[in-house]
Structure 1
Amino acid sequence: MSITRRDFLKIAAVTGGVAAASTPVVKSVLALGKKPVSLPQYVPTTCEMCFWRCGVIAKVVDGKVVKLDGNPLHPNSRGKLCARGHGGIGLLYDSDRLKTPLINTGSRGEAKFKKASWDEALGYVADRMQKIKEKYGAESVGLLTHGTVSTYFMHLLQAFGSPNFAMPSFALCRGARGVAFELTFGEDVGNPERLDLQNSKAIVLIGSHLGENAHNSQCQEFAEAVGKGATVIVLDPRFSTAAGKAKYWLPIKPTTDLAILLAWINIIINEGLYDKDYVAKYTTGFNEVSQAVKEYTPEWAEKETEIPAGRIVETARVLGKNKPNVLIHPGRHTAWYSDNVQRQRAVAILTAILGAYGRPGGIYLNPKKKLEPVFLSDKDYPEPQKPAINKGNYPFAGEEGVTHAIVKATLTEDPYPIKAWFITGTNIMKAMPNQRDTLNAVQRLDLLVAVDMMPYDGVMLADVVLPECTYLERHDDFFTVKERSFGISFRQPVVQPMYDTKPGWWIAKELGKRLGLEEYFPWNTFDDFLKAKAEAWGIDYAELGQKGYIDFPESAKPYLSQGEDYKFKTPSGKIELYSNELKKHGFDPIPKYTKHEQPSEGWFRLIYGRAPVHTFSRTTNNPSLWELMEENVAWINAKVAKRMGLKHGDYIVLVNQDGVKSNKVRAKVTERIRPDCIYLVHGFCSTSKLLHRAYLRGADDQQLITKYAIDPISGSVGMRVNFVKITKEV
């Protein structure tokens, strides 16, 4: 049972929290006439079991974490944790954890490792990096990264002289959404998204699986909204958990989501259901949009989407009736096809004409809090000698870069070779499409270094493995939280690091020393850096350590005031329904519908998603979470299964359009999916033999994703363009 806010404040007052890594984590008292009995210590920190980064309170007894609870002070957790959050203990005590540095003694990918000291492993890496720099230039070292560890290795890479880093989270997840909303409103919707779900009267989920993706605070608010009678509309070829809470489930034909969005915009404008005052005051380009969507009638959309025209009209009117308290969920994983930005632009335009941006029940405004940046070092990075390649030729690729640009340069040596990869906090074999390209690129490298906690598939390809300790064993940089108000979340160790593992910041700093980059790491411990940062920001470091989260309530201004003259961060200062920025680069300034290839007879579109108990491939070996879901299943429409003679629970194999076969996987025969689709939960079937629970469990959707479609605007990688057929061969 989660403790209450009052209980936590009492605990903090008694224990004093933990202010530094060296602080003892347990205190002992003498029981009457008995041996010492340890009192539990409650230590707040920040979770890293997924990107939501909820506030956590760890209960520690005799130096062992025995329970995790949500921090009631933290807006992302609100005193509650999902299954993954509770699975942090499983990560900490997983016997399969990486325990010591490793150096590969066989050929690359053979995974014949010897144990090494940190001095030997870091010296090996530094020597190889220097030789690559001398021969090819510093820019030939690339970084593929995700999570908190990114901060330190992006810093190291830039200090070394390379700008070539990329995060799968941009190209493979939310990059298209970010670009679309920045073009329309001048900024993205945040991470986590600034969604006022609890005050929504109508909620639209377009392939967003709330309740299955376990986005903690959003799931809590979604439940509140449903409890208060919000109308939920779900567009999804699969009857998801969220669809079970919906008044309208629209089992849309994959690739046609943009058609229904454009038809909704058409209906809302033609019937005068848009927010006229809001549109007049805050937007530009409305007349152009009005003309552009005339061809997208509900009757036209019915032919494309296979949703009846009457239902399209009915749901559009629901949105118009409930404006502005409407949330068109912008999603996270938005990399589906080749028109990802334009689809997300339609979401943004629909949000704007309903007056739902900066209004209750829609997308609330970014909280305002000015903090001067405090960098890991005051020393300027050296100027790269070659242009960066991490953004490819995509005019709106974000600062996070696009992973496939680095893979392509590694394969082609165009415009120059990439000869070394660091992979930190990401399983490249489960994150990136077309595993054959990734494997071929890996074979062309002179050096591959993996920094991680577990021996994931991608880690097993490395020349050198540097084991990072878990989030429960380390400090990390402060997290700025932008919910309705601005806040600072703190991560601190609740126990000392196990085995011969080290924090990411320590690994980067020690490698920097061996590369002659000491000046870029002027602090002795990360605790020292955090204290200096807290002082610069006027934050009480001890209080932050005791509470785990500090809020700045004065920063909150979630909604536009009546008649307020608000300036958006766009070139015009208004919401840009018509994008001159897109036009300037040769793209459609208003979204246009595009058709995509459909599966032929006997083939099915492969779609994928998430499970509430797992984070991608990173938790499928977790002893706590593995017990809840050991493997995935293939969702197959009941009529299709009957026609093929398949029964629920039968083992099948999926074969994609390029002849790639999956591992055997059980069939889930159900009415809850369209007959032209097969659905898998992502992240299963690890090929790492060191992951004893996850090894070859279920089917790997990523293995079957050998095709992908790149969005020319953002460089995001559409992966829902693969088709599979079913065979009983196992």
Structure 2
Amino acid sequence: MKWSRRDFLKVVAGSGGIGVIGATQVDRLLGLGRKPEGKPIYVPTVCEMCFWRCGVIAKVVDGKVVKLDGHPAHPQSRGKLCARGHGGIGLLYDPDRLKHPLIRVGQRGEGKFKKASWDEALNYVAEKMLKIKETYGPESVALFTHGTISTYFIHLLWAYGSPNLGMPSYALCRGARDIAFKLTFGAPVGNPERADLKNSKVIVLMGFHIGENAHNSMCQEFAEAVGKGATVIVVDPRFSTAASKAKYWLPIKPATDLALLLAWINVIITEGLYDKEYVAKYTEGFDKLAEAVKEYTPQWAEKETDIPVSLIIETARIMGKNKPSVLIHPGRHTAWYGDNTQRVRAIAILTALLGAYGRPGGIYLPPKNPLSEYGFGDFCGVPYPEHQKPEINKGPYPFTEEEGVIPEIIKATLTEKPYPIKGWLITGTNLIKSTPNQRDTIEAIKKLDLVVAVDMMPFDHVLYADVVLPECTYLERYDDIFVVKERSIGLALRQPVVNPMYDTKPGWWIAKELGVRLGLKEYFPYNDFEDFLKAKCEALGLNFEELKQKGYIEIPGTANPYINESSEVKFKTPSGKIELYSKQLEEAGFPPIPTYTKHEQPPKGYFRLIYGRVPVHTFSRTTNNPSLWELMKENAAWLNAKVAKKLGLKNGDYVVLVNQDGVKSNKVKLKVTERIRPDCVYVPHGFGSFSPMLKRAYLNGADDQQLITRYAVDPISGSVGMRINFVKIEKA
């Protein structure tokens, strides 16, 4: 379906035209009407330093970006940027950037390349892909992708004829969460999450690190809620930044979170603290739920979680007392163990019992969207070819979505079952640093006929590529129009603020030129990307020049955050209600109500390896950034102070972590602290790059992913649990 111009214009006509938030303020900030000679010019665009994609105002002087600020009208920035957002300048001017196409001349992994022209590099890739297609079929090429570039390369993959797509953001991060909320409410919780933090009276964070993940607008709303006196409950083995703002820190035993959630549900039901009217009107399966959770008492949960009975009951009562303005945050990285979907299902069920879905302070409803989907496939008007072989990327997991399960593709590459995978396209993701069991990934690469890396920086996986195609940074390119779905629908434009440096190209151009060489020209019916954007704006009834000038435009009348007395809400579940008891799960052979499963605990002398983020870095993608590297050059392994004393270790010592399979980390500095349980070691993710082409990040700190040699796949969603690894500590 194409965008419905008629429906869109109805909305516009009904509200007196398209509204631009804070237009006067934006005009002043952009300096509209200024002449560029000898003066700064201000260009709005969209950040790509992380997936939050904040609105940005770039200050440009004499063709050089000198400052970045948050766009005041964009709801994901609200006039502010995080450290990583400001680091966009560091990315643009990083001397280690990929500067021109490369073709491998050494062995895979050696990082030996020759400089190539774009024609030479693209022809090389196209010839290999056509040969794979002829010999094995198009399904034998797989794509691993992340970020905005995914739009263009997924389109290319599907036009080529392969369904085998893997996105780390799904199976290794949010997949279980999305499936759990769809099973319960009929829709995922959104990206960004529809968390009504600023109106919450109680905020519950379970392993979700607001302030360390630096999700801009969410951090701002969290600060606003804390300033208003919201009660914060943090469940985490580690005293995180968010825990420092909490009234309650529950240092839970890792792998027992579901026990605590089930006990909370037990207390909420047995003490009658649930929203009876809401539950009766909007939910289905309450009686079965009440019966199922009788055994999960606070007394039972105390033995599992190490959380005292009194705290379990007290925190449950606080939630019940403050309903419905309670946010049990669904999290983002939910790939922990083998029961990820059921754990997040318990969060969704607790949210429903408190009447917090679609109510102020809980999870707000998705905005009204007058815009039908209008992607590349719709624009070209040519249907994708039908697949001749079954998709591998979904594996045997019945609720997995098209973003796929990366280990399934890697396994198929290794075994050539159910058919061979012979080519990998890797775009916008450092595959070595994101997938569990790096040894399998590297062994799979050795079996391939073609490995293509499209990226801006020479990350670890680039060393294994046959061809490297350098993408220009987000400050140097156009991208597809972003539909921003916060409380309202808005449209944001990424546009170049400076000309591309070096011999680099936008992702859309790389995909198009490769498509033409693959005989797929009809799927890319534009000569310049502005043609595509102008056509899209015309279909929307928008003025492209105005969007370029303003950077962000909100569609009025689309906010629909809360259930109200006059509205009839129907959930997109089979029953049309919130499903506390899931017949979909039951029919697929899974427990329809979450049941507790025990997980292995660390053997004697070992600690559970847990990992997370830091506010100044986006995983491994910024550890070489000149601006951000100065703020944090290496990570540190957190260890409980009493344990450190027993082991004869002190703060600042360098140690080596050795996992249960004998894999050793680089040396890493020790952070001795009372802020972590004695059975855990915590390591910030993304450090310890082994690519010598990254001169600042090379071998700085420990690579936690290297130690994740084991994983557990959730049988419902295919989510890949990576917190099942244990480490011991040796002096470096």
TM-score (normalised: structure 1)? 0.96
**Paired residue for 1:500?**
503
Q: Is the 8 A contact 1:139 1:162 kept in 2?
A: yes
**Paired residue for 2:577?**
574
Q: Is the 8 A contact 1:283 1:577 kept in 2?
A: yes
Matches within 5 A, 1:402-421: 402-421=405-424
Letter aligned with residue 235 of structure 1: V
Letter aligned with residue 273 of structure 2: L
Question: Deviation string for 1:460-512 (max 9, x for gaps)?
Answer: 11000000000000001111111111111110000010000000000010111
CA distance, structure 2, for counterparts of residue 5 and residue 723 of structure 1: 54
TM-aligned CA deviation for residue 375 of structure 1: 3.1
Letter aligned with residue 338 of structure 2: S
CA distance, structure 1, for counterparts of residue 530 and residue 133 of structure 2: 32
**Paired residue for 2:146?**
146
TM-aligned CA deviation for residue 14 of structure 1: 2.4
CA distance, structure 2, for counterparts of residue 602 and residue 163 of structure 1: 45
Question: Deviation string for 1:274-313 (max 9, x for gaps)?
Answer: 0000000000001110000000000000000000001000
Matches within 5 A, 1:65-104: 65-104=65-104
Letter aligned with residue 295 of structure 2: E
Q: Is the 8 A contact 1:356 1:363 kept in 2?
A: yes
Q: Are 2:472 and 1:469 equivalent residues in the alignment?
A: yes
**Paired residue for 2:274?**
274
Letter aligned with residue 417 of structure 1: P
Aligned residue among 9, 28, 42 for 1:10: 28
CA distance, structure 2, for counterparts of residue 363 and residue 372 of structure 1: 24
TM-aligned CA deviation for residue 8 of structure 1: 2.6
CA distance, structure 1, for counterparts of residue 419 and residue 33 of structure 2: 56
Aligned residue among 710, 714, 718 for 2:717: 714
SS of aligned partner of 1:335: coil
Matches within 5 A, 1:211-610: 211-376=211-376, 377-562=380-565, 564-610=567-613
CA distance, structure 2, for counterparts of residue 374 and residue 176 of structure 1: 27
SS of aligned partner of 1:625: helix
TM-aligned CA deviation for residue 6 of structure 1: 4.6
TM-aligned CA deviation for residue 11 of structure 1: 4.2
Letter aligned with residue 87 of structure 1: G
CA distance, structure 1, for counterparts of residue 464 and residue 639 of structure 2: 34
SS of aligned partner of 1:39: coil
Aligned residue among 674, 678, 682 for 2:677: 674
TM-aligned CA deviation for residue 145 of structure 1: 0.4
CA distance, structure 2, for counterparts of residue 466 and residue 615 of structure 1: 22
Aligned residue among 693, 698, 701 for 1:695: 698
**Paired residue for 1:108?**
108
Consecutive unaligned residues in structure 1, runs of 5 or more: 17-25, 29-37
Q: Are 2:137 and 1:134 equivalent residues in the alignment?
A: no
TM-aligned CA deviation for residue 525 of structure 1: 1.1
Aligned residue among 627, 632, 643 for 2:635: 632
Question: Deviation string for 1:655-684 (max 9, x for gaps)?
Answer: 000000000001000000000000000000
The percentage of aligned residue pairs carrying the same residue is: 74
SS of aligned partner of 2:584: helix
CA distance, structure 1, for counterparts of residue 85 and residue 396 of structure 2: 39
Q: Are 2:614 and 1:611 equivalent residues in the alignment?
A: yes
CA distance, structure 1, for counterparts of residue 100 and residue 633 of structure 2: 27
Letter aligned with residue 207 of structure 1: G
CA distance, structure 1, for counterparts of residue 31 and residue 83 of structure 2: 29
Q: Is the 8 A contact 1:633 1:665 kept in 2?
A: yes
Q: Is the 8 A contact 2:263 2:297 kept in 1?
A: yes
**Paired residue for 2:17?**
none
Q: Is the 8 A contact 1:15 1:42 kept in 2?
A: no
**Paired residue for 1:23?**
none
Q: Is the 8 A contact 2:640 2:676 kept in 1?
A: yes
Q: Is the 8 A contact 2:30 2:41 kept in 1?
A: no
SS of aligned partner of 2:451: strand
CA distance, structure 2, for counterparts of residue 459 and residue 357 of structure 1: 44
Consecutive unaligned residues in structure 2, runs of 5 or more: 1-21
TM-aligned CA deviation for residue 625 of structure 1: 0.2
- The farther-off stretch of 664-673 and 554-563 is 554-563
SS of aligned partner of 2:656: strand
- The farther-off stretch of 118-127 and 537-546 is 537-546
Q: Are 2:224 and 1:188 equivalent residues in the alignment?
A: no
Letter aligned with residue 8 of structure 1: V
Letter aligned with residue 84 of structure 1: R
CA distance, structure 1, for counterparts of residue 320 and residue 372 of structure 2: 42
TM-aligned CA deviation for residue 7 of structure 1: 4.1
TM-aligned CA deviation for residue 552 of structure 1: 1.4
CA distance, structure 1, for counterparts of residue 556 and residue 257 of structure 2: 38
Q: Is the 8 A contact 1:372 1:537 kept in 2?
A: no
Question: Deviation string for 1:106-158 (max 9, x for gaps)?
Answer: 12222110000000000000011111111101110000000000111111111
TM-aligned CA deviation for residue 13 of structure 1: 6.2
CA distance, structure 2, for counterparts of residue 706 and residue 574 of structure 1: 41
TM-aligned CA deviation for residue 15 of structure 1: 3.6
SS of aligned partner of 1:543: helix
**Paired residue for 2:200?**
200
**Paired residue for 1:705?**
708
CA distance, structure 2, for counterparts of residue 374 and residue 619 of structure 1: 32
CA distance, structure 2, for counterparts of residue 349 and residue 374 of structure 1: 34
| Runs of 4+ that moved beyond 6 A | none
**Paired residue for 1:22?**
none
- The farther-off stretch of 345-354 and 545-554 is 545-554
SS of aligned partner of 1:703: helix
Q: Is the 8 A contact 1:5 1:72 kept in 2?
A: no
Letter aligned with residue 631 of structure 1: E
SS of aligned partner of 1:530: helix
CA distance, structure 1, for counterparts of residue 372 and residue 518 of structure 2: 30
Q: Is the 8 A contact 1:15 1:41 kept in 2?
A: no
SS of aligned partner of 2:91: helix
Question: Deviation string for 1:328-367 (max 9, x for gaps)?
Answer: 0000000000000000000000000000000000000000
Question: Deviation string for 1:619-678 (max 9, x for gaps)?
Answer: 000000000000000000000000011110000000000000000001000000000000
**Paired residue for 2:160?**
160
**Paired residue for 1:34?**
none
TM-score (normalised: structure 2)? 0.96
Q: Is the 8 A contact 2:171 2:404 kept in 1?
A: yes
CA distance, structure 2, for counterparts of residue 603 and residue 46 of structure 1: 44
CA distance, structure 1, for counterparts of residue 227 and residue 126 of structure 2: 57
Letter aligned with residue 73 of structure 1: A
Letter aligned with residue 659 of structure 2: N
CA distance, structure 1, for counterparts of residue 372 and residue 201 of structure 2: 38
CA distance, structure 2, for counterparts of residue 118 and residue 422 of structure 1: 17
TM-aligned CA deviation for residue 95 of structure 1: 0.2
SS of aligned partner of 1:237: coil
Q: CA RMSD in A?
A: 1.1
- The farther-off stretch of 231-240 and 371-380 is 371-380
